[in-house]
Amino acid sequence: MRLGVLDVGSNTVHLLVVDAHPGARPLPAHSHKVELRLAQLLDPAGAIGPEGVEQLVTAVRQALEAAEDKGVVEDLLTFATSAVREAVNADEVLARVKEETGVQLTVLTGAEEARLTFLAARRWFGWSAGRLLLLDIGGGSLEIAYGIDEEPDAAVSLPLGAGRLTAGWLPGDPPEGEAVRALRRHVRAEIASVVGEFTRLGRPDHVVATSKTFKQLARIGGAARSAEGLYVQRELRHGALESWVPELAAMTAEERAKLPGVSEGRSGQLLAGALVAEAAMDLFGIPTLEICPWALREGVILRHLDHMPGVVGQ
């Protein structure tokens, strides 16, 4: 069957169309993406302004047209994450999207994001990976999850997304040194507050990370290009990341965009993402982690397939 997943995230509105069946790997058929950066469009009161709402409605409408073109009519799964979830006018925004496009967005909690992303990583790596520790840096939040089964034993979401932190902590291009140091202290204090929830469960057997931020950091650290395919193992070493952070801090966004694997749209927030990744790897004692090609969207698809009528065990 052909399924579509519409993900209204903090950085992008992303439609992923897949051919999927229970018990089989979803096969990507089409991807449609609009960079919106909602996390950076919040006004001082924490609301998505009229311009941001208009852009969101337009992006959702375009995604619907793309879904219809690719044969997705009924099986469209839709959700929104932290930027919409935390907007003070979230209800108004959701109502406007529904009125203008007919799409009723489901707003995921941070814990749901972590659990669904963990499910995707577990299915990708399999049971042989043992106890998994998952890290995911989005535009609005950082998700951390740990467990040995498909449902994590611990899952948290912290307001440490790369877009959110860039907008709130790193003015200037490049930012001032004191601003970078202040953000570094803030990030480490936030992550340190939850480390104990995970370390009490024992050391993980495998540490994995998802998200564009981690993929880009792995690429500039020497990992294989995306053109080499999904099944090439890609790793991020703490030592390599640690050496890159001061270099990223000294670069302008334009200079970062020239690094291998870094897109122009994400270059401005790469430093904030690197500070979060470095802090997480340091505080959790992670020398190396592996990049997982699947993330939240795939987790949503897998959960949907699991709950379809006739699937064994449901």
- Alpha-carbon Rg for the chain, nearest whole angstrom, is 19
Same domain? 140 vs 159: yes
What is the pLDDT confidence band of residue 184, given thresholds at 50, 70 and 90? very high
pLDDT of amino acid 206 = 98
How confident is the model at residue 311, as a pLDDT? 44
Q: What pLDDT does residue 135 have?
A: 98
Q: Residue 22's pLDDT is what? A: 86
pLDDT band at 313 (very low <50, low <70, confident <90, very high): very low
Q: Do 278 and 245 meet the contact criterion of CB atoms below 8 Å apart?
A: yes
Q: What CATH number did the domain enclosing 132 receive? A: 3.30.420.150
According to DSSP, the residues that pair with 124 across neighbouring strands are: none
Shared-domain flag, residues 208 and 270: yes
The mean per-residue pLDDT over the stretch 133-150 comes to 96
Q: Which domain holds residue 259?
A: 110-297
Question: For residue 73, what pLDDT is reported?
Answer: 76
259 and 133, same structural domain?
yes
* Percent of the chain with pLDDT strictly greater than 90: 87
Mean local confidence (pLDDT), 147-163: 97
Q: What is the pTM of this model?
A: 0.94
The verdict on 156 and 251 lying in the same domain is yes
Tally of structural domains, the chain: 2
Query: pLDDT tens digit string along 168-183?
Result: 999 999 999 999 999 9
The answer on 85 and 64 residing in a single domain is yes
Distance, CA of 240 to CA of 279 (rounded, Å): 13
Does the structure show a pLDDT above 50 at 81? yes
| In-domain check, residue 305 | no
Residues 163 and 246 in one domain: yes
C-beta of residue 11 within 8 angstroms of C-beta of residue 39: yes
**In terms of domains, do 103 and 116 share one?**
no
On whether both 230 and 267 belong to a single domain, the answer is yes
Q: Which two tokens stand for residue 122?
A: 């577990």
Q: What is the mean pLDDT of residues 190-195?
A: 98
Q: Strand order in 106-107's β-sheet?
A: 27-35, 12-19, 2-8, 76-80, 106-107
User: What 3 state SS string does 152-198 have?
Assistant: CCEEEEECCCHHHHHHHHCCECCECHHHHHHHHHHHHHHHHHHHHHH
Whether the pLDDT of residue 201 is over 70: the answer is yes
Residue 79 is assigned to a structural domain of this protein: yes
State CA 68 to chain mean position distance: 25
Indicate whether 80 belongs to any domain.
yes
